Structure 1
Amino acid sequence: ANANVVFFDGITAGEKDFSALIARLKKENIDFVYYGGYYPEMGQMLRQARSVGLKTQFMGPEGVGNASLSNIAGDAAEGMLVTMPKRYDQDPTNQGIVDALKADKKDPSGPYVWITYAAVQSLATALERTGSDEPLALVKDLEANGANTVIGPLNWDEKGDLKGFDFGVFQWHADGSSTAAK
């Protein structure tokens, strides 16, 4: 892509006043910001940016994809872009798990819910197949055989990296929900 990176900056976790950063974004006429952090700071940035009329498109990773972001940012959260794993809570085959999570007052839409569930399923599968709790035996089993999980079949390469894991770009909404970006 022909992106012109105007500047690269960092923030301190827990920071609440982004007025200097927002003034710089406005002065430099920045049209896109990718923030690689978590929702508390992104929520503050969005709220403060919109309060001074900054229309910059913000985007972040799964760490900003949390319904609490909308509690912080309010209407300013509308339209933020988030890279997250596929929305497995919207897969009809997972409805039983979704219902159980909701009954336990848990949010089934969180970006870590389904990959964590799949990781535990993978470990349980390897433990059952090998009859061992030795880490190397489990790794070798998963490399050789993969595992069927709530997010589909998982397979790993020789370096231990997951093959073919789906990430997508989602548009965040002020009510804390998200939809696939168009």
Structure 2
Amino acid sequence: MNPQNNGALHTTLALTLFSLAALAPGLAQAQTVKIGVPVPLSGSSAAAGTDILNGAKLAAAKINAAGGVLGKQIELVPEDDACDAQTAVQAAQKLVDAGVVAVAGGYCSSAALPELTAFHRAGIPYVLDASTNPKLTEMGYDNVFRTIGRDDEQGPFAASFIKNSLHAKRAAVIDDNTTYAKGLAQNTVESLKKMGVDVVYADSITPGQMDYSPTLTKVSSLKPDVIYYTGYFSEAGLLVKEARQVGLKMTFMGGDGTNDPTLMKTAGPAADGMIITTAPLAQFLPGAHDYLDQYNKSYGQGPGPYSVYEYDAVGVTAKAIADGKSAKPADISAALHKITDYQGATGTIGFNPKGDRSRAVYITVVVHNDQFEPYQRQDASGKWVAMK
């Protein structure tokens, strides 16, 4: 063999092998459909983030067992956003770089907002399961969707309960100065004032402190009939515990950021009787029985409040991929906008033009014997009735 030809052959083979190696990651990537899951996996909200990720895993497992989407398996790509805006930006960029075609997740609105900006810039749809700040779907982005309600829906709901069920005349509203908590607090305060309830206190605490007795002492001096805390469960448990320790007897309420079992672990018996406004928990949803069974079998405990909404977020995303016959981000967003009656574990899901869930529901639950129990809901006429 001619040495020159032999050298040329080796060169050709080397280039071919190099090209195949370079293509290998792309070929491997093409075998799956990547869906990002940005949630807090560290910090005080890690339990909630882990629960949400578990819900995503159950959804992906069910979809993959049925053949996946477009003949490919769903691959979840989780990233820790720590409920922190700066960390969230980094987490979102990691998901973009990983080649996700859609994102289903979110917990803290303060993290979801910068994540959404990054995903919008990359053209990737973001289906939120727990982030409720109205701004997320008010920026005119066509790639944002929500399987949960909004703070400006929950606020009037909470105010109506305080006014028309508790018959309170004086209310105190406390937030933790985060995007979610301030938004819910502001919407609740506005609604209370419109309904003629005297808001005697509306201010923020600093999350992460070990003693909130100065705030509670001030609130107590104003003699409210009810205290409504709109922050997260880690501080809510300490607040209600200290409130009872200093002798406060009024009704203590929390928004949907407090509806985590960790609340009872922190507060102990002091949590008994606390009332929470929330989207329906999985155990109160008629369509979530199979989900509850599977979650218990898989993780040895019941789900937290948002995992079932994440389960549906992954499910409706897969539905959009199948409907649009495409795993291109723009096609997924377009298909999501067309969905009106996806039958999820949380009920029928459809999106309005902004991307919000068109039929969001809220209920109240009460803490009793270390459990969340159904309490009251509004009937079709707006009357408060006991839940069965």
TM-score (normalised: structure 1): 0.91
State the partner residue of 1:154. Answer: 349
Cα distance, 1:92 vs structure 2:
4.8
Checking the alignment, whether the CA contact within 8 Å between 1:121 and 1:149 is kept in structure 2 is yes
Cα distance, 1:69 vs structure 2:
0.7
Q: Kindly tell me: are residues 13 and 174 of structure 1, through their superposed partners in 2, closer, same or farther at Cα, counting changes over 3 Å? A: farther
1:14-163 matched pairs, under 5 angstroms: 14-103=208-297, 104-108=299-303, 110-146=304-340, 147-163=342-358
The CA deviation string for residues 114-168 of structure 1, in whole angstroms up to 9 with x for no partner, is: 1111111100111111122233322221222332211222111111111011111
Distance 1:88 1:39 in 2: 18
Checking the alignment, whether the CA contact within 8 Å between 2:254 and 2:277 is kept in structure 1 is yes
Checking the alignment, whether the CA contact within 8 Å between 2:255 and 2:276 is kept in structure 1 is yes
Q: Which amino acid is the alignment partner of residue 163 of structure 1?
A: S
Aligned with 1:172: secondary structure? strand
Aligned residues: 181
Residue from 375, 381, 384 that aligns with 1:180: 375
Checking the alignment, whether the CA contact within 8 Å between 1:68 and 1:176 is kept in structure 2 is no
Checking the alignment, whether the CA contact within 8 Å between 1:83 and 1:168 is kept in structure 2 is yes
Cα distance, 1:25 vs structure 2:
1.6
Q: Which has the higher strand share?
A: 2
Unpaired runs of 5+ residues, structure 2, are: 1-194, 377-385
Cα distance, 1:89 vs structure 2:
2.5
Checking the alignment, whether the CA contact within 8 Å between 1:74 and 1:174 is kept in structure 2 is no
Checking the alignment, whether the CA contact within 8 Å between 1:43 and 1:72 is kept in structure 2 is yes
Aligned with 1:17: secondary structure? coil
State the partner residue of 2:359. Answer: 164
Aligned with 2:295: secondary structure? helix
Kindly indicate whether structure 1 or structure 2 has the higher relative contact order, using CA contacts under 8 Å at least 6 residues apart.
1
Q: CA RMSD in A?
A: 1.7
Cα distance, 1:171 vs structure 2:
1.4
Checking the alignment, whether the CA contact within 8 Å between 2:291 and 2:308 is kept in structure 1 is no
Q: Which has the higher helix share?
A: 2
Matched, 1:5 2:199: yes
The CA deviation string for residues 57-116 of structure 1, in whole angstroms up to 9 with x for no partner, is: 1222221011111111111111111111113323454322211211222423x2202111
Aligned with 1:160: secondary structure? coil
Aligned with 2:227: secondary structure? strand
Q: Which amino acid is the alignment partner of residue 208 of structure 2?
A: G
TM-score (normalised: structure 2): 0.44
